[in-house]
Structure 1
Amino acid sequence: MSQQEGARTRPEPISGLYLNPVGQRRLDFQQACGALFGKLRVAGGIEEAGAMLEAEAADVLVLDLERFEPGIDLPLLADLVARREGAPVLLLCPFTNARWLPSLMAHGPLHYVIGPLAPEQLREEVAARLHAGFAPAAPATPAEEELAALLGVRSDAQQALAEADDSIRFAERLCVALLGWPGVVHASMFQLREGKDLRLEAQSGQPAFLPGARGLDLTAVLGRGERLLQSPLRHAFPGLLAAAGGETALLDAPEKAGEAELAATLRGHGVEMVLGLPIPASGPGAPRGALCLMFGERRAFSQAQLAACDDLAQLAAFGLRMAELMRESEELLGRVTQLATLDALTGVANRRHGEFLMEQEIRRARRYRVPLALIAFDIDRFRNINDSFGHPVGDVVLRTVADTARLLLRSSDVLVRSGGEEFQVIAPHTSAIDGLKMAEKLRAAIEGTEMPGCDHVTISLGVAQLGETESGDSLAVRVNAALARAKRAGRNCVELAMQ
């Protein structure tokens, strides 16, 4: 081969431009990688880098994203990438904030390296990409197969919404669906609960595939399953980083987290890469939690794959919001039911609900041929209490009488406030004689109870047992008649209704 032919085949020197706002980082990059370039220029600001590229083109633009802020610097950096028009761009991206990747990928093709890296590691990574000429790496899974798998994962994840009435069941089904992504060996969901910190909601993993390895349990890895915002690994584990800070975290080598024990544990379970995806809130503020995917091999993500990750996080947010709405709906329904069935002052069943429960107990007594008793009582001379001491004292008396009666009743009995100072007790499996004994206990207990503001009160009571063919209205008429007789007999006594 002639010298001229050798000269023609010798690769041309590569020129590069490195951008980072920190002077020490620029110096460190020059020392570590300067020899890889025929000419390497450095810039401390985005506008300065743009001016340098206008004055003299660079074969490779290296954007070191450490110390840049997405909310402030993203538009200018995106414009810088777009102006490259497909020329090589290499991102040095901190693993704690991988949100840069899809944001900048939308403006032009680029390659990325996840940091932090020691100087020799950085040199190896940059040299490998310069040597490869920034050709796209062949995916471990064919593109068609990967696309089909991702569509399947999305479909299964959408089906998990059928369980969105319960956040735990939804999280479990979603984690199982995420295992359909090629290369994923473990999937988990963290949820940030208001006032209760961050907890591991669900996790699912592939069977252990390393010899002697057990299935991966994040509770053991993190040392806890709840109050994870206080975990010592909050700064290192991508799932916790994403949930706490709201930024995507991509750890493409466990050692980069700076926690040797965590790295050894993950490696021991065959985990080579961890991706933490924040689950966005419905408005401003902290995220709802995070999805965490662990891969059995290191890989580079495309823009489409990162977009699919974002879709899955949005779907998780939708599912958790549905679960929250269902829970709020149930609580509201319970509150409405309470307001519709309970007396607001005393907390016992109101008259309408008492009539409904009475009809139910009558049907049950008829079906099983068991006795049913009804006790009616009211507070003697209650109007005098209101007139002498005021209505607030009267309200206290009503509550105290109701509370005293409830303490004496069985769990199967129902106390009803049927009128102003009038109450009823529905007593299943109770005969007339047993009803009389129960009524006497109520009378004595209330007579002996001190009433705040007015010393003592007494009650008069009527008792009736349901007849074989008697209706609820008829039973109520008889027991009220017995109560009226007790009033006429001098009050503070019990009368049995006549058949």
Structure 2
Amino acid sequence: MPQQAHQRDAPTGLFVNPAAGRRAEFEALCGAQFGRLRLADGADAALEVLATEQTDLLVIDLDRFDPGLDHDGLAALVAARGGAPTLVLCPFENARWLAALMACGPVEYAIAPLPDEVLQETVAARLRAGCTPVPELTPREREQQGLQDLRRQVREAIGDGEELGAMSERLCRALCGWPGVAHAALFHLQPGGDLRLQAQYGERGLNLARLLGRGDRLLQSPLRHAFPGLLAASANTVALLDAPEKSGEPLLAEALREHGIGMVLGLPIPSDGPGTPRGSLCLSFRAARTFSRIELDALAEVADLAAGGLRLADLNRESEEMLAQVTRLATSDALTSVANRRHGEALLETEIKRARRYRLPLALIAFDIDRFKTVNDRYGHPVGDMVLRTVAEVAQKLVRASDVLVRSGGEEFQVIASHTSAIDGLKMAEKLRAAIEQTEMPGVDQVTISLGVAQLGDQESADSLTVRANAALARAKRAGRNCVELAML
């Protein structure tokens, strides 16, 4: 009987490390101190143990774990202890792990490498403390831990400042994780100089766009002097409405009360220098409360973090716009804005591969403007440029969304027509011919085009298809122009 009681009271342990050798060493050194010691190679396996068995001491050996890959799993493991402390063996060169894991629950640590006897004594000391409840945190400690969690969540939400909408949404969700916050919103100053509700999130379904009567041009809202989120952005001040009635707007106060909001805080998001802020953060609380200096400092830090996130998002957006502009310049014809020759050649190769893969027809229509040299000689190059633009615009309106119009030379164009047989290509070419013939161009006699149509052969290359389409175009020229010819295989 005494032996059974001893077995029942013996401490249980769980040791976590990805290396089998490390697990075996720990079991050999410290296994005798436990009534039962379980070993796990990672967070998932350890969580399964914690879910099914009582564990008096969890030991996480961080050696061989990767902070970038394993943080989330180990953080969940610490949090799963429900407030019971965890012993972390941390390599001295990787101590950045500690703050991140401490944010998830009580953590005691020892810096590795440890001599065998020191490791044994460290584990024994932890076991001597037994399973005594962790002392409750003081109000100040709870406050500091809550603010530490808030900062961590905000940093994670901002990330690398990718797309503005997604980042803003994550930031609002993170802010709603702070105790007492029922709703969070981010107001963003637009390039045009007005304010927009960029993102919002809240458990009570409060929609600030509906409450304020609009979601953009908010600096012109009649509530900009009363609602803290708008006031913070327009006046660059921290606005704290600790009772909705103090806004002086009965309808606003009534709407806030209906949604269970007892206090609203507006924080300006600072700009890079003096002047108008980038926007504001707006936190709506379920009940009025008093902020400590530590909390206000932390909130100011959160606003600074949001400013950094907006700067990164702006830089990313500008980079994407610049990349899009460079791509457009590299792939588009400057005069007509359709695909240029190089881009057209690449697109034709792509469409040929797609047609072969899915066994679909593909047609190439080649056309040019009849007697275009005469237009330039008689009316001048500016008029010739106008004719080129007009022909491109008319053709672009007629081709389908799946087709590609290419300017392949001076007055020469191509249409890459996917899912198109020779017969359908002839019909499309005839529509193009008729439309150009019927288009009036001021100051110019009638403009016409000649066209050649070729359907892709089974083993044909892009060069061969282009040669056949151009040969058909040449026959149309010899036939008297303003007509369509079909290329033969």
TM-score by length of 1: 0.65
Cα 1:309–1:367 shift into 2, 3 Å: same
Per the alignment, residue 251 of structure 1 pairs with: 241
Cα 1:252–1:451 shift into 2, 3 Å: closer
**Distance between the aligned counterparts of 1:377 and 1:270, measured in 2?**
68
Say which of 137, 142, 145 aligns to 2:139. 142
* Residues 176 and 184 in structure 2, CA contact (< 8 A), matched pair in contact too: yes
Shift of 1:253: 3.6
Q: How does 1:348-363 map to 2 (within 5 A)?
A: 348-363=338-353
Structure of greater Rg = 1
Per the alignment, residue 79 of structure 2 pairs with: none
**Distance between the aligned counterparts of 2:473 and 2:211, measured in 1?**
70
1:19-68 CA-partner distances (Å, limit 9, x unpaired): xxxxxxxxxxxxxxxxxxxxxxxxxxxxxxxxxxxxxxxxxxxxxxxxxx
> Unmatched 5+ residue regions in structure 2?
1-136
1:143-190 CA-partner distances (Å, limit 9, x unpaired): 101000000000000010138323232222222222333333332222
**Distance between the aligned counterparts of 1:263 and 1:484, measured in 2?**
78
Per the alignment, residue 122 of structure 2 pairs with: none
> Unmatched 5+ residue regions in structure 1?
1-139, 208-214
Say which of 254, 270, 274 aligns to 2:264. 274
Runs of 4+ residues deviating >6 angstroms: none
* Residues 406 and 413 in structure 2, CA contact (< 8 A), matched pair in contact too: yes
Q: How does 1:84-103 map to 2 (within 5 A)?
A: none
Cα 1:186–1:445 shift into 2, 3 Å: closer
Cα 1:405–1:248 shift into 2, 3 Å: same
Cα 1:151–1:449 shift into 2, 3 Å: same
Q: How does 1:116-155 map to 2 (within 5 A)?
A: 142-155=139-152
Shift of 1:302: 3.1
* Residues 149 and 180 in structure 1, CA contact (< 8 A), matched pair in contact too: no
Q: How does 1:297-312 map to 2 (within 5 A)?
A: 297-312=287-302
**Distance between the aligned counterparts of 2:244 and 2:422, measured in 1?**
77
Say which of 174, 178, 182 aligns to 1:177. 174
* Residues 342 and 348 in structure 1, CA contact (< 8 A), matched pair in contact too: yes
Letter in 1 for 2:157: A
Say which of 168, 172, 187 aligns to 2:184. 187
Q: How does 1:67-106 map to 2 (within 5 A)?
A: none
Please state if 1:342 is matched with 2:323: no
* Residues 160 and 312 in structure 2, CA contact (< 8 A), matched pair in contact too: no
**Distance between the aligned counterparts of 2:215 and 2:262, measured in 1?**
22
Cα 1:438–1:189 shift into 2, 3 Å: closer
Shift of 1:268: 5.1
Per the alignment, residue 495 of structure 1 pairs with: 485
**Distance between the aligned counterparts of 1:436 and 1:262, measured in 2?**
66
SS in 1 for 2:267: strand
Say which of 355, 380, 405 aligns to 2:370. 380
Say which of 418, 421, 440 aligns to 2:430. 440
Shift of 1:206: 4.8
Between Structure 1 and Structure 2, how many residues are aligned? 353
Per the alignment, residue 167 of structure 1 pairs with: 164
Cα 1:379–1:303 shift into 2, 3 Å: same
Per the alignment, residue 60 of structure 2 pairs with: none
**Distance between the aligned counterparts of 2:260 and 2:355, measured in 1?**
66
Shift of 1:271: 4.0
